[in-house]
Structure formats: C-alpha cells, structure tokens
Copies of this chain bind each other. A is one copy, B any other.
Amino acid sequence: MTLILSNDDVEKLLTMGECIAVMEEAYVELADGRGVSRTRSDCFTPTARADALYSLKSMDGVAPKLGVGAVRINSDIVTWPKRGNAMRREKVAAAPNNRYVGLVLLFSVENGEPLAILPDGVMQRMRVGAANGLGIKHLARNNAKSLGILGSGWQAGAQLMAACAVRDIETIRCFSPNPQSREGFATAMSAVLGVDIIPVGLAEEAIEGADIVMCATNSIDNVFFERWIEPGMHLSSIKRPEIEVKAVKRADRVVIHWNDPTPIHVAAKDVVIEEKVAGRGWQLAEEIDFHKLPTLPQLVAGRAEGRKSETDVTCFINNIGLGYQFAAAGSLVYRKAKESGLGHEVPTDWFTEDVHP
C-alpha cells in the first residue's frame, strides 16, 4: 500500500529534534558523495491572471542510506506584489478551496516502489528550519542565549523551533513591519517554545545585543545590514537576498547550504519574472562566488571549519533548497507513519505498472 499523508499527519510525526537529527546524518552522506541531489528547476509560463505567472518547480534527491528517493513538486500561481519599495514573492491560493499545490513523492531505493505522497508544506517548513538549526549548532557560540528574528510568518516559527532545539535560548525579540502579525506570532510561538518572545517595532531593537540573528522573511530585498553586526554574532538567513552583501563580506565565516548553480529557469517567451527584472535577489550571486564557499554538509561532516573564536561573526545562508532534504525528512516521516498507522492507504498498484516503460 502507498500512503497518502496530510500536513496534519506530518505535523504529528515530524518533531524538530528528530528532523534535525535525520538531516545531520543525511548531510554527512551528502558530503561524502553517497547521497545525491538534483538542482531545482522552475518552468514559468503565463497563466489565467495577467499579473501572475504559472510556475512548475521540481527538485529530486536520493538518500541511499535512509533508503528513500524524493521528488518535490510545486505547481504555483506566483505574484510579486510591492509594499512600498519592498518586493515580495507571493503564491496565490488558486486551487479549489483556496489552496496551494506542493507535493512530495517518496520512493524506495531498494525496489523503486512509491512509498508515500504528501503535501510539502509542513515538511518544507521543518527542513528549512532544520538546516538553519544545524547552521546554529555548528556555527553559533555554544553559550548563545539571546535571539533576534526578522519575520513573523510560517517559516519564522520553524526557525525559532530549530534554534531552541540546538541552543538554550532565553530571550527572543521579533520584528516584522505589521504590529498585529508580530504580536500574534509572539503570543503563539511563546506558548509553543516556552520562551518569552518580545515583539518590537524596529529591526534594530530585535537585533541589538542578540547572539543569534535570524532572517525569516518573504522579502527579496535586503532586510539585514552590515551596520547592525556585533562581535560574536551568528547570522542566519533562509534565502539569498535577506542579508546585504556587505554584511556577508564582513562575516569571518560564511557557510551556504549548497553550492549548486542557481536554479534552472525555463521560461516561456515574453514571460517577465518580476524579481529578475528588478534585479532583486540576484545581487548576492553576482558579488559572492557561491562555488567557493563551504557548505552545510561539509560543515556537518567536519570537512569545513566553523567558528574560531567567541568574537567571530558567523553567517549561514540557506541559499537553495535541496530535493535531498525531502528524501531525508521523508524517510523519517514514512517510517513513523507506518508505525503509527497514520494516513490513507491506497493500492500501490495504482502508481506502478506491468509494462516496461
């Protein structure tokens, strides 16, 4: 039987601690070249809405030690709204019942069979959190206690869960432009983490004196600037453009998630990808040679150096996601789902065939 799992199922099965542990194991395999990950690809075409594009995104990865191959697919209606000068990338919930479309398919490395199909949302959030959590674990000061976070969305929550899983965080300050968002986030996440989160009205207030600064926004513009850096800080970002180039260059130690090229973009004629036109998000790739930076798998596997002193400024940029992360987290979720009996079972024969294709 093949399992159809929901985000609720994944939320029950995938704890941040376990997610970080399985990722850590998997990254060693990836650093050794035993695991494989295929560069993400994005196909863009026009869609029904004139102010949006259709985007079909996919990424694959295989974690042989964990026995799982994964394909993650996003079928999105994408817009790039502006709020003042800031540009964001926003998906439209255009599917029936106002829903988004992201899927993970898990396959057995042993016999090829489809093990499970599930929405990508919760797993996506947890694996981004786990990667930045591993960045903190291997780069931030051991005694890091205070944390400032920019952003109060869905990803920001997982970022805090990950930080608290690897360091004894005592104080958290959160800035995001919308007072209601940051206050709601602070209340909700304080309850989840058992740590008081203080919403603040300026980015600087969140950052000043923080041992760890986490950027967790939808912004494709810079949100953290060099002038805010303090000795010993660890900087963490979930996407390329959040930390300005000058700040990245100022850090003593910069580690990226993975040194693949930028995603493969295949765009239909006359399609305008707004963030590219605006030159946003691509500046970092131009000014910093990603191929020369050490990666998180290398760091985790002990093949790249981490922090050398208490005053070093360290920086982890989660520059690109990996299909491989879904194979690793997927192996854990699948095993636990089987043990607990969660999910809908459908006949595996529906997704296999008797002809040699």
Contacts and interface: CB of A to CB of B under 8 A. Distances in A.
A111 B122 CA distance: 21
Contacts of A21: none
Interface string A36-67: 11110101111110000010101011101000
A356 to B, nearest CB: 6
Interface residues of A, number: 80
Interface string A60-102: 1110100001010111110000000000001101111111111
A352 interface: yes
B56 A58 contact: no
State the copy count for this chain. Answer: 2
Given A71-B58, A154-B356, A350-B6, A268 B34 contact: yes
A107 interface: yes
B39 A99 contact: no
Contact of A109 (B45, B105, B117, B346): B45
A48 B93 CA distance: 41
A103 B99 contact: no
Nearest to A35: B268
A246 B34 CA distance: 39
Contacts of A36: 43-45, 266-268
A354 interface: yes
Q: Which of A35, A103, A344 has the most CB of B within 10 A?
A: A103
A266 B323 CA distance: 12
Given A99-B352, A356-B100, A38 B46 contact: no
Contacts of A93: 354, 356
A194 interface: no
Given A56-B71, A96-B352, A125-B357, 8 more contacts: A7-B354, A41-B41, A45-B69, A46-B64, A76-B112, A98-B354, A99-B352, A124-B357
